[in-house]
Amino acid sequence: MQQLKEELASSLKGRDFLALADYSSEEIRYLIDLAIDIKQKQKAGEIYQPLKGKTLGMVFEKSSTRTRVSFEVGIYQLGGQGLFLSRNDLQIGRGEPIWDTGQVLSRYLDGIMIRTFAHKIVIDLARSSTVPVINGLTDAAHPCQALCDYQTVLEHKGRLEGLKIAYIGDGNNMTHSLLMGAAKLGMNMSVASPEGYEADPDIVAQTKAVAASTGSVIQMCRDPREAIENADVVYTDVWASMGFEAEQKEREIAFANFQVNEELAKYAKKDYLFMHCLPAHRGEEVSEGVIDGKNSIIYDQAENRLHAQKAIMAAIM
């Protein structure tokens, strides 16, 4: 077991963290276990600073609460420092190619985290950089959030394999990362989305291919009741993600029957966990009774962004 951990630790050094699809099942589970270990060290008051003297550049083309604070605090607690870089702080805001930005930032930094729009930007940045690049969010994937989500489920349920997660809502970046994570970790996942708002079919196909090797069951459907039946975990996200605000009214109509509320939650297991990546719009995608109820673990999720991202940084930087 120790030899396997050492081999996994070695395999992660210097790697980019762009999508869970790039990591093996063993590597993802290693990161989750490392996050829990780092969290326990912090709670016990232990000093753990493997990144002493190192600097993480944090590039934000999309604003954030949890991503910025958790990465900035996380790199500090690991002994390093974070450098906040908004679009207006960098020449990419004036048209500098991402290739040049990646080449230059690599000469100054030990790692780069970017939160942006098109997934191609992250890929191009990683290709041009000689230091590890972390995907803080793109329109296609949110791997940091999914990693901390599955860490949170493991802490509450004691296992991941065989559990069922139901996702109700927009087939967005969150859906994509949760799907791949579920398949890699041997979990079952059902997704219910209205017509026209489904997850990317190519990503769904990739996920099902992975699921075939791990024994996971992946189901895509229209009926929220069908998706949530006997679920161990119930997950939702805003109906209009960042960049889609102009579609808010249109989406309210399309998603009217996809609210996670007390009536729908009756079809899940009694001890189900409710999860939301936040920010949430109470009264839209989720009722106040569910998000503030006894099954909700949204703040444990939010806290674990700190610990999961510390694990990522410690492993690859």
Active-site amino acid positions: 115, 142, 145, 237, 277, 305
**In sequence order, which residues have a C-beta less than 8 Å from that of residue 132 and are 6 or more positions away?**
14, 15, 16, 17, 111, 112, 316, 317
Does 143 appear as a known binding residue? yes
**In sequence order, which residues have a C-beta less than 8 Å from that of residue 77 and are 6 or more positions away?**
42, 48, 49, 310
Does 281 appear as a known binding residue? no
Q: How many CB atoms lie within 10 A of CB 150?
A: 29
Does 91 appear as a known binding residue? yes
Does 148 appear as a known binding residue? no
Nearest residue to 220 via CA among 264, 185, 171, 148: 171
Count of positions (residues) in the chain: 317
- Residue 293 gets which letter from DSSP? S
Does 282 appear as a known binding residue? no
Q: What letters, b where the CB count within 10 A reaches 16 and e where it falls short, cover 105-143? A: bbeebbbbbbbbeebebbbbbbebbebbbbbbbbbbbbb
Does 22 appear as a known binding residue? no
Identity at 158, one-letter amino acid code? G
Cα–Cα distances in angstroms (integers) from residue 201 to residues 40, 134, 169, 227, 244, in the given order = 39, 24, 16, 18, 20
Does 67 appear as a known binding residue? yes
d(CA 115, CA 245): 18
Q: Are 75 and 134 in contact (CB under 8 A)?
A: no
Cα–Cα distances in angstroms (integers) from residue 267 to residues 166, 171, 231, in the given order = 11, 21, 8
Identity at 285, one-letter amino acid code? E
Residue 186: which region, alpha, beta or left (left: phi > 0; alpha: psi -120 to 50)? left
Q: Are 64 and 136 in contact (CB under 8 A)?
A: yes
d(CA 50, CA 53): 9
Query: Which residues belong to the annotated binding site for carbamoyl phosphate?
Result: 64-67, 91, 115, 142-145, 277-278, 305
| Binding-site entries | 64-67, 91, 115, 142-145, 173, 237, 241-242, 277-278, 305
